[in-house]
């Protein structure tokens, strides 16, 4: 806690409180925003894109909190949750749901599915204590690859998702045909500093606020926040901080870890549904393969470590991470034409931050 | 699981333990045999040609993984960084238009300091991420890829000025092209420079290899007779090996004398093979030196090694440097066989495939040897050749086979790692109780 009476806190204290990566990358983002403004790129568009992308990715990043808190490390097996969400999505489309019904049915299908899958995944993690992160990564990769086979062989008949010839599902399913495109994002959306002064309902210019998407994101944040204040949530955190101590005080750690990973898988599943509606397309096959890494990086940028994470880290992290790359793309394009420097920047920052977090993990198997 | 159950399982017969130890390899053998059964399009010639060219391309890279495992670093996915060093060296050599055998040797020479530096840096990183080396090595590959792209897309052209007209450089004068042709070996290029020095027919190579193994087995027996106390040796395995060698020699002699269709299999590059054999011998011999013993003791317990006066950090860094340098050379050998430098893609999958191959050979995160690397390369590539065929003949869709192949790569790494950790944890529990 910041002590108000000690106003003369040194620079180092502030850095320590907020965390070096957050300040460094956040500062870099602000610099890029200023550079963008100077180059004549619309700051409003940049901020509006940032909010949109933060809303899309928010729940996926939120999925990191339960698994980190339970001591299994960042959920590198996020694709496990994602494929549950994708499967629920295509199932809902196959049954012919459209619009809001599609959205709710997808979410309703995805929850029981991810509970089962998350339970199995939690069991797996309990069997491989000590190497969770590596095994989780490969579990995620294997599931995505296995689902590639499933998407190709699944006997679904809906014309909205099949290839035009042959069987199997398309690589990208357009959601506008079933009325699912930006259904949440456009719900109660308004724009700031747009057409009619401060607030324009349903405005297209200025800073667009995708109200519906943000509501569901903050709702999920609230659920996770409140859960980690409940008895069961506190048990999970305690198990994550000191497993031996928690065990001796009568907490069943294995069960806690399973619970946390079920929650994380559910968040992954809901996260991808929200992501898909915001994007307008559902991407199958290898699209989810690398999705865990940006989410891990975002929560780490927000100030989390591989052992501790809070909901506030998610919100700060996803805004800075998505903001940085929405800003970097047009700015880099203006400065160096014809080169995708922002992609390189993304690779270096995203993987660099994960490496940095790994160096902070204390101890080891030896 | 209750304790009785565990101890019961541990006391099970030798056969089931052997099966459990080699389950990954057995799956792959079964898969390849199954492939032969269901697909009629695959002839033995096609299979052996594919297999031998893939083997000579990849074996060196897989062998580069052995030392880090011995030194307790686990599976070094970071050989991607070494591969990048190799590609940087190739790019330099191609840019200045050097070629031929001297060009290739120069490439290896240039790659040496670059890979050493990269290996040193990754080694330092592994020392900071103790206990999480494998995930760190995976991430360092992705991270380094960003820097590599920065170097090839931006630094070349913007910071290092290059002529626009150079065939390697993109038309706008910034960055290296997506694919760079390495030029034919006889026209001053790098393609096949190593492979084409000396080639012999496939069956002659088989004959030579198995004759060598036979001699090795006989030498083992003689050595053991002289000094039974000093050397361990497994009688049944030796007998099986000798029978196998004799059978293979008989087959190859028969093929050579009758000039059967097996003689049509693509010729084998001897010099590349010698490089692979040299690395095998190096990996074996280094374990007999002081350094190799240090690798082993660090691999078994860093704490005990530290107490007995070994500089653990330094030893681990040396192991990483060796692995990185071998990976760089392995990548150069791989690319001289491919003939084109896929600037931004050639290195990305190397780590994953090599690790999968090593694991298929029966290695684990704590135990790996030359034998595993060689067997693994053969089995893994057999699967790679067969899976599109199986997809095609069973489901009429080669794409399915491609996806299946990817699944096998990831699945085998996950399975092998998971099984290993699971068993180690289980053993730990038994001793505690």
Q: Where are the domains of chain B?
A: 16-201+265-426
Q: Which CATH architecture has domain B16-201+265-426?
A: Orthogonal Bundle (1.10)
Question: Which tokens belong to B108?
Answer: 């290896």
- Does the pLDDT value for residue B238 go beyond 50? yes
Residue of B403, B409, B415 to mutate, testing the A interface (most A Cβ within 10 Å of its Cβ) = B403
Classify burial at B43, counting beta carbons within 10 Å of its beta carbon; exposed 0-12, middle 13-18, buried 19 or more.
Answer: exposed
Cα–Cα distance for residue pair A298/A270, rounded to 1 Å: 18
Q: Looking at beta carbons, which residues of chain A come within 8 Å of B413?
A: 138, 141
Is B421 close to A127, i.e. CB distance below 8 A? yes
Nearest chain B Cα distance for residue A300, angstroms: 14
Q: Are B266 and B49 in contact (CB under 8 A)?
A: yes
Q: What average pLDDT score do residues B158-180 get?
A: 85
pLDDT > 70: percent of chain B: 94
- Residue B208: the pLDDT is 87
Q: Which segment of A1-5, B188-192, B345-349 scores lowest on mean pLDDT? A: A1-5
pLDDT value of position B429 = 66
Distance CA A304, CA B404 (A): 36
Residue A280 burial (C-beta neighbours within 10 Å; 0-12, 13-18, 19+): middle
Residue B55 confidence (pLDDT): 92
Q: Largest Cα–Cα distance of chain A, in whole Å?
A: 71
Mean pLDDT value of segment B253-277: 84
Q: Do A348 and B411 touch (CB under 8 A)?
A: no
Closest A-chain CA to B305: A366
B142, closest residue in chain A (CA to CA): A351
CA proximity to B172, closest of A198, A15, A21, A336: A336
* In contact, A339 and A41? CB cutoff 8 Å: no
**Cα–Cα distance measured from residue A6 to residue A10, given in angstroms and rounded to the nearest whole number:** 10
Closest in A338, A351, A358 to B142, CB measured? A351
Q: What are phi and psi of A306, to 5 degrees?
A: -70, -10
Higher model confidence: residue B396 or residue A8? B396
Report which of A120, A117, A93, A123 is spatially closest to residue A105, judged by C-alpha positions.
Answer: A93
Do the strands A281-283 and A172-174 form a parallel or antiparallel pair, or are they unpaired? antiparallel
Instruction: Say if the Cβ atoms of B132 and A134 lie within 8 Å.
Output: yes
If you search the block for the tokens 């940049």, which residue do you land on? A46
Is the distance from CB of A68 to CB of A261 less than 8 angstroms? Answer: no
| For residues B291-316, average pLDDT | 90
Residue B14's pLDDT band (cuts 50, 70, 90) = low
Token readout for A252 is 């069943």
Q: pTM to 2 decimals?
A: 0.88
Question: Which residues does residue B191 pair with via DSSP β-bridges, in sequence order?
Answer: B184
**Cβ–Cβ gap B129/A361 under 8 Å:** yes
Q: Are A35 and A22 in contact (CB under 8 A)?
A: no
A136, A75 in Cβ contact below 8 A? yes
Q: For position B328, what pLDDT does the model report?
A: 94
Window 127-166 of A, Cβ < 8 Å to B:
127-131, 133-135, 137-139, 141-142, 144-146, 148-149, 152-153, 166
Residue B3 has pLDDT above 70, yes or no: no
Q: Of all residues in chain B, what percent carry a pLDDT higher than 90?
A: 30
Predicted confidence band at B232 (pLDDT cuts at 50, 70, 90)?
Answer: low
Q: How many whole angstroms from its chain centre is CA A53?
A: 10
Q: Which of B128, B395, B418 sits opposite A359 (nearest CB)?
A: B128
Give the minimum alpha-carbon distance from A145 to chain B in angstroms, rounded to a whole number: 5
Average pLDDT over residues B49-63: 91
Are B149 and A344 inside 8 Å of each other by CB? yes
Mean pLDDT of B16-43: 80
Band of pLDDT at residue B264, cut at 50, 70 and 90: confident
Position A178 scores a pLDDT of 83
- Taking CB atoms and an 8 Å cutoff, what residues of chain A touch B132? 133-134, 358, 361, 364
Burial class (CB in 10 A: 0-12, 13-18, 19+), A272: buried
CB-CB: which of A127, A142, A361 is closest to B410? A142
Q: What is the pLDDT of residue A195?
A: 66
State the complex-level ipTM.
0.86
Closest CA to B120 of B329, B260, B272, B322: B322
Low-confidence ranges of chain A (pLDDT < 70): 1-9, 165-166, 194-197, 202-203, 338-339, 362-366
Query: What is the residue-wise DSSP string for B55-109?
Result: HHHHHHHHHTTHHHHHTT----TTHHHHHHHHHHHHHHHHHTT--HHHHHHHHHH
Angle of CA points A197, A203, A204, to nearest 5°: 115
* Residue A72, min C-alpha distance to chain B (Å): 13
Q: Max Cα separation, chain B?
A: 75
Q: Which two tokens stand for residue B55?
A: 């083997």
Whether A358 and chain B come into contact, CB under 8 Å, resolves to: yes
Residue B74 has pLDDT above 90, yes or no: no
């Amino acid at each position: 806690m910041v002590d108000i009476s000690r106003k003369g806190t040194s620079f180092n204290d502030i850095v320590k409180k907020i965390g070096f990566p957050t300040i460094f990358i956040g500062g870099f983002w602000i610099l890029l925003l200023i550079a963008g403004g100077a180059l004549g790129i619309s700051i409003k568009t940049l901020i509006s894109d940032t909010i949109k992308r933060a809303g899309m990715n928010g729940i996926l990043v939120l999925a990191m909190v339960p698994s980190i808190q339970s001591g299994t490390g960042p959920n590198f097996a996020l694709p496990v949750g994602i494929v549950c969400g994708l499967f629920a999505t295509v199932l809902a489309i196959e049954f012919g749901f459209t619009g809001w019904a599609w959205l709710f049915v997808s979410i309703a299908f995805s929850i029981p599915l991810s509970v089962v899958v998350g339970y199995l995944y939690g069991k797996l993690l309990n069997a491989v204590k000590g190497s969770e992160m590596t095994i989780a990564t490969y579990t995620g990769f294997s599931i995505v690859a296995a689902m590639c086979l499933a998407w190709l062989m699944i006997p679904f008949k809906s014309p909205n998702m099949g290839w035009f010839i042959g069987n199997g599902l398309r690589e990208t399913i357009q959601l506008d045909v079933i009325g699912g495109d930006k259904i949440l994002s456009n719900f109660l959306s308004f724009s700031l500093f747009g057409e009619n002064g401060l607030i324009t309902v349903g405005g297209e210019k200025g800073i667009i606020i995708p109200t519906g998407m943000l509501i569901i994101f903050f709702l999920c944040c609230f659920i996770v926040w409140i859960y980690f204040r409940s008895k069961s949530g506190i048990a999970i955190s305690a198990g994550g901080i000191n497993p031996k101590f928690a065990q001796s005080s009568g907490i069943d750690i294995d069960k806690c870890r399973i619970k946390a990973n079920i929650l994380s898988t559910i968040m992954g599943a809901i996260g991808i549904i929200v992501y898909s509606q915001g994007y307008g397309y559902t991407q199958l096959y290898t699209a989810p393969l690398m999705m865990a890494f940006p989410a891990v990086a975002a929560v780490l940028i927000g100030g989390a470590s591989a052992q501790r994470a809070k909901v506030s880290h998610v919100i700060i992290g996803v805004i800075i991470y998505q903001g940085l790359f929405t800003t970097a793309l047009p700015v880099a394009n203006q400065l160096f034409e014809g080169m995708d420097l922002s992609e390189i920047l993304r690779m270096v920052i995203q993987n660099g931050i994960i490496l940095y977090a790994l160096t902070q993990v204390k101890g080891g198997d030896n | 699981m209750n304790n009785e159950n565990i101890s019961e399982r541990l006391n099970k017969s030798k056969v089931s333990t052997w099966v459990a130890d080699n389950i990954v390899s057995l799956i792959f053998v079964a898969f390849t045999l199954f492939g032969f059964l269901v697909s009629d399009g695959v002839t033995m010639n096609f299979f052996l040609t594919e297999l031998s060219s893939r083997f000579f391309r990849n074996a060196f890279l897989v062998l580069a993984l052995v030392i880090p495992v011995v030194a307790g670093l686990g599976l070094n996915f970071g050989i991607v960084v070494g591969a990048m060093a190799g590609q940087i060296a190739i790019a330099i050599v191609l840019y200045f238009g050097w070629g031929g055998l001297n060009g290739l040797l120069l490439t290896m020479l240039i790659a040496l300091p670059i890979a050493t530096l990269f290996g040193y840096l990754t080694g330092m990183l592994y020392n900071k991420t103790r206990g999480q080396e494998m995930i760190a090595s995976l991430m360092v590959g992705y991270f380094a890829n960003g820097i590599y792209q920065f170097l090839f897309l931006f630094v070349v052209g913007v910071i290092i000025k290059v002529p626009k007209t150079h065939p390697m450089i993109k038309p706008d004068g910034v960055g290296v092209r997506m694919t760079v042709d390495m030029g034919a070996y006889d026209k001053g290029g790098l393609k096949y420079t190593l492979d084409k020095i000396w080639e012999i027919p496939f069956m002659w190579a088989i004959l030579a290899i198995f004759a060598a193994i036979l001699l090795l087995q006989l030498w083992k027996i003689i050595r053991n007779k002289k000094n039974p106390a000093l050397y361990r040796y497994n009688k049944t395995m030796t007998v099986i090996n000798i029978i196998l060698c004799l059978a293979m020699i008989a087959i190859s002699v028969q093929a050579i004398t009758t000039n059967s269709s097996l003689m049509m299999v693509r010729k084998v590059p001897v010099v590349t093979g010698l490089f692979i054999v040299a690395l095998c011998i190096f990996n074996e011999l280094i374990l007999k030196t002081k350094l190799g013993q240090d690798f082993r003791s660090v691999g078994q317990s860093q704490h005990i090694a530290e107490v007995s006066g070994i500089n653990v950090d330094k030893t681990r860094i040396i192991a990483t440097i060796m692995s990185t340098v071998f990976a760089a050379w392995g990548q150069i050998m791989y690319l001289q066989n491919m003939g084109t430098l896929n600037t931004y893609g050639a290195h990305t999958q190397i780590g994953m495939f090599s690790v999968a191959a090593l694991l298929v050979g029966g290695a684990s995160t704590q135990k790996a040897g030359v034998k595993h690397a060689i067997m693994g390369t053969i089995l893994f590539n057999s699967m790679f050749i067969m899976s599109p065929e199986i997809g095609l003949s069973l489901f009429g869709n080669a794409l399915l086979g491609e996806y299946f192949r990817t699944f096998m790569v990831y699945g085998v790494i996950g399975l092998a790692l998971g099984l290993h950790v699971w068993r180690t944890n289980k053993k730990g529990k038994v001793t505690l109780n």
